[in-house]
Amino acid sequence: MRYTIVTETYPPEVNGVALTVQGLERGLRARGNDVDVVRPRQLADTSNTSVNANETLVRSLPLPRYPDLRIGLPATHRLRKAWAEQRPDAIYVATEGPLGWSALRAARRLNIPAATGFHTRFDEYMRDYGAAFLQATALRWMRRFHNGADATLVPTHELQAFLQAQGFDKVVRLPRAVDTVLFDPARRDASLRGSWGLADDALAVIYVGRIAAEKNLSLAIAAFRELQKQRPDARYIWVGDGPLREQLQRDNPDFIYCGVQRDTTLARHFASGDLFLFPSHTETFGNVTLEAMASGVPTIAFDYGAAHETLRDGVHGATIADGDDAGFRTAVLRIGNDPALRAIMAMAARDAVASLHPEQVASDFEDILRNLALARRPHAQPVTA
């Protein structure tokens, strides 16, 4: 089968959506499918042609507040022409930007089945960027986009139920997984911890992700400062980058800033931590939760997304009721001060995600796209030569 993935973000950009989309692409290829990718031209792309034969690059602009990310401009005519010449059996549109809207329009014109991915809670972002009055508008905009497709893929039962209650049609759950070969407690690195100024029994609190307003980082910082009063040997390790990093460094010069890390280096950083704090309210899933658990790092997060699906309170870390900031800080103090409890949680967290295989996600994703293609095939337009 031939599939096309349309996405506004893609590696080498580092974020949960980009890496999830790349994983889906690789999974389809591994199962013998032909896969094309349509994405914005990134700063690293210097030629006027596709970087790879299977990639189509479209014009792009910097994303407001995120100058390192690019947003794709509409490309309806170009996509219609390309897909009329080489028709995909189905397309997957991962993002709701101008490029994603134009891809859905092109697919409808050619009667190509399309699935969309609900990866980002833009309605919640409105609150974090001081525009809470636009939350309802953002949700209506997303509903219109996703209801223009044949299926909307979500990672959790919780999000599926929420969207259905909000009038989203044909919401289909596609679970997530984690690479437990890459993210493994065995990658814990004493020399790396030493470079952070940590003794063997010192406490490394770690954050991995974008350093941005929507991540609610002020709560994690406040909780860490309370813990640090009781554990002066604790250090806060920050892995990632984003628009708030410069301010964070000015305000907290004692933190360790590691920048963006990838692949095995990222896995080493995760496994070398002792406690992962994830205070975000805006994730649709939160891949880093599974990566921390696979790395044997107890995790404290609010009770939704990946944490609601997989993390068990008091067993793998702590899940906190949304909005209970005091409960989040209390859990940080309780678990941060108890090394024996963290050791038990570390083993339990690793065991909890051991059965989450990326290969199963790829198989489920392929089944969804194939079923959409087969359902439409009797009515499909003939491919134009």
Per-residue model confidence as pLDDT tens digits over 96-110: 999 999 999 999 999
Q: How far is 29 from 36, CA to CA, in rounded Å?
A: 10
Q: Which CATH class is domain 2-177+358-378?
A: alpha beta
Those residues with Cβ within 8 angstroms of residue 193's Cβ, 6 or more apart along the chain or in another chain: 200, 202, 204, 272
Low-confidence ranges of the chain (pLDDT < 70): 46-51, 65-68, 122-131, 133, 377-385
Residue 31 structure tokens: 């199962």
Q: What's the confidence (pLDDT) of residue 351?
A: 97
CB atoms within 10 A of CB 233: 12
Rounded to whole angstroms, the Cα distance separating 187 from 66 reads 32
Structure-token pair, residue 312: 């068990």
Report residue 281 as tokens: 């309210």
What end-to-end distance do the CA atoms of the chain give, in Å?
18
- Distance of alpha carbon 235 from alpha carbon 9, whole angstroms: 32
For the beta sheet containing 299-302, the strands, ordered from the edge strand earlier in sequence to the opposite edge, are 256-259, 235-239, 204-208, 275-278, 299-302, 317-320
Crossing angle of the two packed helices 98-110 and 76-85, in degrees rounded to 10: 40
| CATH class given for the domain over 185-353 | alpha beta
- Give the three-state DSSP class for 237: strand
- What are 48-90's pLDDT values in tens digits? 444 577 999 999 988 776 666 788 999 999 999 999 999 999 9
Exposed, middle or buried: residue 33 (CB in 10 Å: 0-12, 13-18, 19+)? middle
CA 227 to chain centre: 28
- C-alpha–C-alpha distance, residues 161 and 126, integer Å: 22
Closest alpha carbon to 16 in 247, 290, 281, 259: 290
55's tokens:
């990639």
**Collapsed DSSP state (helix, strand, coil) of residue 335:** helix
Helices (H), the chain: 16-30, 76-85, 98-110, 122-128, 135-146, 157-165, 190-195, 217-230, 245-251, 263-271, 287-294, 305-310, 325-336, 339-353, 358-376
Give the domain ranges of the chain.
2-177+358-378, 185-353
Query: CA-to-CA distance for 29 and 23, rounded, in angstroms?
Result: 10
- C-alpha separations of 335 from 37, 208, 220, 328, 378 in Å: 43, 19, 14, 11, 58
